[in-house]
Structure 1
Amino acid sequence: MASSKAAIFMTGGAAILVRDKEGIVSKMAAMKFIQNGCIVPEVKWAAVRGAFINLQYPQPELNHTLWNQNQEPQHKTFADSVPVNETWILILKGVNILIKAETGVFINLQTPHPELAQNQGPQHKSQNQTLARVTVGSVETLTFGHWDSGEASRLTPIDCAVLSHVIGLCDTIKHLDLEYCHIQCEGLQRLGPGLHKCQVLRLGCNKLGDSGVKLLSAALRNPDCKIQTLGLWENGLTASCTLDLSSALSTNRSLTGLDLSNNKLGDSGVKILSAALRNPDCKIQDLDLWANDLTGSCSEDLSSALSTNRSLMVLNLSNNKLGDSGVKLLSEALRNPDCKIQKLDLDGVDLTDSCAEDLSSALITNRSLTDLSLGSNSFTDRSVPALRSLILTRRSLERIWLRANQFSSNGKRHLESLRESRPGLSVGV
């Protein structure tokens, strides 16, 4: 985070952070705001370039030193990646503060800023609530997460409480990204009340655990739930959370995408989830179970779910030890003409030539499949005829991924030559 300077002043009952147009605090600009005011060192938080930063210094002289020596404030909690023009609510000593980061003005919702309220009458609280809603009501996307964990914002439980207030005031919130933000279950509990308002909720790699999923399941059961995409990858989840999650999926009417990858649900967990998938009211279209310690033991339940489910179109079972026997069971479901699977990922699931015929014949009859991944398995040239038959016969197939198998150079050439069989076909060998 780039070095920034800040000071908080108290005037007219409102805490004000003063910055110039470049986002740098100017002492001269600050003095223009202050008449008979002073620095308030006990105030803990300031907004600097869109970040909440601890500015708790014990003496005014230390704040003065901060100005003169260009020292960077300590205890950064929200990353510099947060846009400057975002608007937030901050809990400051139990008082709600409206923060307009683009202007750098803090407005005390209990004591209004003198320029925004003409009196201190009993109406000021509702007026400020209206102001808050007008200010943050148009926010659609809040992004604190990042695919690079080092770039994501580390949020404390207090930060999550702040964010909960923001979400509560946002009438148009659609996308909340908190991946790699380390919120854990305690932070999620603080966020809980407004999560159901988000359409896209990304919570990957936050150590939420099974107890965190129980909290999310309550949000999914909310009749006003708007969550359409929920990302829960790498959160230490086990089979213990699947009863709550399955119950929520059976009643929820909005969720279509669920990412549970890189957890430890195991066969028992997926068997419970399969019961929810069999429910005709389940709306899941995209399910990611990559790397969940699955074996062929869960395939019968999963196959049963695929045979009856009418919404699931994308299924990722990669990096699980399903084996030939497990995929043969799944093939039975894929033969069902009502199966809606369009994209199937079976990379690294311990497949050999023994299942090639079953899988190929099943997918030839499938009417919906367009994308198939079978990479990082143990197919050899013995599987090439079955795979060629699948590619040539299943005309809806647009992409097939076969890399990191055990084909010879000759086998690869036979498969690669199929790219010329029709325009747009992608064959990765």
Structure 2
Amino acid sequence: MTLKRSRSDSNEKTVEYIKKKIRTIDSPEKSINLYHCLNELGDHSLVEQIQKCLKSGKIKEATISSSQWSAVVCVLLTSEEDLDEFCLDKFVKAKNKHKNMEVLQKLLPVIKESRSVQLSNCGVTDEGCAALVSALRSNPSHLRELNLSGNEIGDSGVTLLSAGLADPHCKLEKLWLRDCGITDEGCAALASALTSNPSHLGHLSLTGNKLGNSVNLLSDVLQNPHCKLEKLWLNDCDIKDEGCAALASALRSNPSHLRQLNLSLNKIGDSGVTLLSAVLKDPRCKLEILRLRDCGITDEGCAALASALRSNPSHLRRLDLSWNKKGDLGVKLLCAGLKNPHCKLEELQLRDCGITDEGCVALASALRSNSSLLRHLNLTGNKLGKSGVKLLKDNPHYKLETVYC
């Protein structure tokens, strides 16, 4: 468990605070059994341990009883400073869902006061989402980051969360929902919430959810002129041509905000990449990072990307085309775009793409024509010989900082 604060109270002050609270606390909202807490602590060793962990930022995984969790909450609530981050990633075991809920209920007062809440792989279900939404609704303008990745919250959990996101007072900026079992229904609820309150969320990850064509609903959000989404991760979401077409259409309507797009592990193929390349050509497009790992891209898709790099070369900084079997011809086509003197690409990932020394010759030629561009090049898993590797690694005129072959 990671806890970040700007400072921590002294042990003595904390113990005195707890003693005082035993006599005065009457808030059912905090629901902390302080008397039981001090009874079990005895010499206050756990309070001291928690304070030490607060300063170091870590609490090691251990078996913590109900009253000890109360002690954790109590110590966290004693500080006069704001709690910047509350992280329980993988700390609560998913095997015991009843205990997870019990712990989550105790931690709600702390979660409500946190700006960043990290609860990935904690066994949170739709019931936990209901508890979280209840707490966050009482203080919706405080939370800025929420990570529920790896929890089986499903469509019902996302629907509950979406009700909170639709609140005009909600100022959430980053939301991670990777591998949460979300399908069409949950995507629809999320899209509806973001349509109602689109101006704050800047980072959304829905990686590993089988959205399919329901990504069209998110495309409607992207078209909203008030949408401020800058980072969108949709890798391994079962998106195909139709979904890619909808995303491309949305980005053509409102191209200036998105900075990062991850569509890896979706079989969008050359047709999908061609549609996205048309967006990249738009001078208003400010996309800096594009990840298209294992998307079924061949020579045709590489030609479209190269054309985009020639037309609007100055914004894209990172391009990942790993695990697409485009071979040497695809790389040669791509290099035609890299030779543009205005190209600012700094990182190029081409892992396991069937490239040989012939492709290395094309890359070396592009680097000679525009030696100021690439800093990081990854060609791991390709069929390179010694001559190809030498071409890329032994030229002092290149500005490459890392080369993986």
Unmatched tracts of structure 2, length 5 or more: 2-21, 24-33, 49-58, 380-405
Q: Are 2:93 and 2:100, in contact at CA under 8 Å, matched by a contact in 1?
A: no
2:190 aligned with 1:190: no
Q: Which amino acid aligns with 1:258?
A: L
Q: Are 2:117 and 2:147, in contact at CA under 8 Å, matched by a contact in 1?
A: yes
Query: Structure 2 residue aligned with 1:409, among 357, 380, 385?
Result: 357
Residue 362 to residue 49, structure 1, CA distance change in 2 (3 Å): closer
Where does 1:331-410 land on structure 2 (aligned, <5 Å)? 331-366=277-312, 367-393=314-340, 394-410=342-358
Q: Are 1:209 and 1:236, in contact at CA under 8 Å, matched by a contact in 2?
A: yes
2:65 aligned with 1:53: yes
Query: Structure 1 residue aligned with 2:103, among 159, 172, 184?
Result: 159
Residue 19 to residue 389, structure 1, CA distance change in 2 (3 Å): farther
How many residues were matched structurally?
327
Q: Which amino acid aligns with 2:41?
A: V
Q: Which moved more, 1:383-392 or 1:399-408?
A: 383-392
Q: Are 2:207 and 2:236, in contact at CA under 8 Å, matched by a contact in 1?
A: yes
Shift of 1:410: 2.7
Q: Which amino acid aligns with 2:352?
A: A
Q: Are 1:419 and 1:426, in contact at CA under 8 Å, matched by a contact in 2?
A: no
Shift of 1:312: 0.8
Distance (Å, rounded) in 2 between the aligned partners of 1:337 and 1:179 = 38
Offset from partner CA, 1:280-316 (integer Å, 9 cap, x none): 1111100000000111122221111111222111000
User: What secondary structure does 2:193 align onto?
Assistant: helix
Percent identity between matched residues is: 31
2:54 aligned with 1:18: no
Distance (Å, rounded) in 2 between the aligned partners of 1:245 and 1:54 = 34
Q: Which amino acid aligns with 2:362?
A: H
Distance (Å, rounded) in 1 between the aligned partners of 2:228 and 2:96 = 32
Distance (Å, rounded) in 2 between the aligned partners of 1:291 and 1:423 = 30
Number of the residue aligned with 1:124: none
Residue 20 to residue 334, structure 1, CA distance change in 2 (3 Å): same
User: What secondary structure does 2:261 align onto?
Assistant: strand
2:242 aligned with 1:297: yes
Q: Which amino acid aligns with 1:18?
A: L
Distance (Å, rounded) in 2 between the aligned partners of 1:152 and 1:316 = 32
Number of the residue aligned with 2:375: 425
Q: Are 1:344 and 1:373, in contact at CA under 8 Å, matched by a contact in 2?
A: yes
Q: Which moved more, 1:372-381 or 1:189-198?
A: 189-198
Query: Structure 2 residue aligned with 1:176, among 114, 117, 126?
Result: 117
Offset from partner CA, 1:308-340 (integer Å, 9 cap, x none): 222111000000000111111222112111112
Distance (Å, rounded) in 2 between the aligned partners of 1:100 and 1:277 = 42
Q: Are 2:240 and 2:266, in contact at CA under 8 Å, matched by a contact in 1?
A: yes
Offset from partner CA, 1:175-206 (integer Å, 9 cap, x none): 11100001111011111123343211111011
Q: Are 2:93 and 2:122, in contact at CA under 8 Å, matched by a contact in 1?
A: no
* More strand as a share of residues: 1
Q: Which amino acid aligns with 1:425?
A: R
Distance (Å, rounded) in 1 between the aligned partners of 2:237 and 2:373 = 36
Q: Which amino acid aligns with 1:325?
A: S
Q: Are 2:315 and 2:344, in contact at CA under 8 Å, matched by a contact in 1?
A: yes
* More helix as a share of residues: 2
Distance (Å, rounded) in 2 between the aligned partners of 1:424 and 1:323 = 26
Q: Are 1:184 and 1:207, in contact at CA under 8 Å, matched by a contact in 2?
A: yes
Residue 252 to residue 182, structure 1, CA distance change in 2 (3 Å): same
2:209 aligned with 1:259: no
Q: Are 1:360 and 1:390, in contact at CA under 8 Å, matched by a contact in 2?
A: yes
Distance (Å, rounded) in 1 between the aligned partners of 2:301 and 2:253 = 23
Residue 417 to residue 284, structure 1, CA distance change in 2 (3 Å): same
Distance (Å, rounded) in 1 between the aligned partners of 2:131 and 2:168 = 20
Residue 152 to residue 230, structure 1, CA distance change in 2 (3 Å): farther
Residue 257 to residue 48, structure 1, CA distance change in 2 (3 Å): closer
Shift of 1:426: 2.1
Distance (Å, rounded) in 1 between the aligned partners of 2:226 and 2:277 = 24
Offset from partner CA, 1:26-55 (integer Å, 9 cap, x none): xxxxxxxxxxxxxxxxxxxxx999974148
Q: What TM-score results when the alignment is normalised by the length of structure 1?
A: 0.69
Shift of 1:416: 5.1
The structure number with the bigger radius of gyration is 1
Residue 153 to residue 362, structure 1, CA distance change in 2 (3 Å): farther
Q: Are 1:419 and 1:427, in contact at CA under 8 Å, matched by a contact in 2?
A: no
Distance (Å, rounded) in 1 between the aligned partners of 2:330 and 2:316 = 19
Distance (Å, rounded) in 2 between the aligned partners of 1:412 and 1:143 = 44
2:229 aligned with 1:208: no
Distance (Å, rounded) in 2 between the aligned partners of 1:48 and 1:403 = 37
Distance (Å, rounded) in 1 between the aligned partners of 2:271 and 2:228 = 28
Shift of 1:236: 0.6
User: What secondary structure does 1:156 align onto?
Assistant: helix
